[in-house]
Amino acid sequence: MRSTGFRRTFVVLTASALALTATACGGSDDGSAGGKTRITVNCMPPKSAKVDRSFFEADIKAFEKQNPDIDVVAHDAFPCQDPKTFDAKLAGGQMEDVFYTYFTDSKHVVDINQAADITSYVKDLKSYGTIQQQLRDIYTVDGKVYGVPRTGYSMGLIYNRKLFQKAGLDPDKPPATWEEVRADAKKIAALGGGTVGYADYSAQNQGGWHFTAEMYSQGGDVVTPDGKKASVDTPEGKAVLQNLHDMRWTDNSMGSKQLLVINDVQQLMGSGKLGMYLSAPDNIPILVKEKGGNYDDLALAPMPGGKGTLIGGDGYMFNKKDSPEQIKAGLKWLDHMFLTPGAGFLGDYARAKQNNAPVGLPEPRLFTGAADAKDQQVKKANANVPVENYQAFLDGNQSLQMKIEPPQAQQIYSVLDGAVSAVLTKKDANIDQLLKDASGKIDSILARG
The rounded distance, in Å, linking the Cα atoms of 254 and 241 is 14
The rounded distance, in Å, linking the Cα atoms of 60 and 71 is 9
Q: Using CA of residue 327, residue 330, residue 336, residue 341, what is the dihedral sign?
A: negative
The rounded distance, in Å, linking the Cα atoms of 345 and 79 is 18
The rounded distance, in Å, linking the Cα atoms of 314 and 389 is 26
User: What backbone phi and psi angles, to 5 degrees, belong to 211?
Assistant: -55, -45
**For helices 235-245 and 206-217, what crossing angle results, to 10°?**
120
Query: How crowded is residue 213: how many other Cβ atoms within 10 Å of its Cβ?
Result: 26
Per-residue pLDDT tens digits for 211-266: 999 999 999 999 999 999 999 999 999 999 999 999 999 999 999 999 999 999 99
Nearest Cα residue to 415 out of 448, 389, 386, 382: 448
Residue 211 near residue 419 (C-beta atoms within 8 A) = yes
Nearest Cα residue to 320 out of 91, 103, 148, 123: 91
The rounded distance, in Å, linking the Cα atoms of 109 and 115 is 6
The amino acid at residue 198 is Y
Query: How crowded is residue 353: how many other Cβ atoms within 10 Å of its Cβ?
Result: 18
Separation in Å, CA 50 to CA 18, 41, 46: 12, 19, 7
Separation in Å, CA 32 to CA 27, 36, 72, 81: 10, 5, 12, 26
The domains of the chain, with CATH numbers, are 32-153+311-387 (3.40.190.10), 156-279+408-448 (3.40.190.10)
The pLDDT of residue 398 is 78
Q: Which residues of the chain have pLDDT under 70?
A: 1-30, 32-33, 77
What contacts 304, CB < 8 A, 6 or more positions away? 157, 175, 176, 177, 178, 180, 181, 217
The pLDDT of residue 32 is 67
The pLDDT of residue 1 is 61
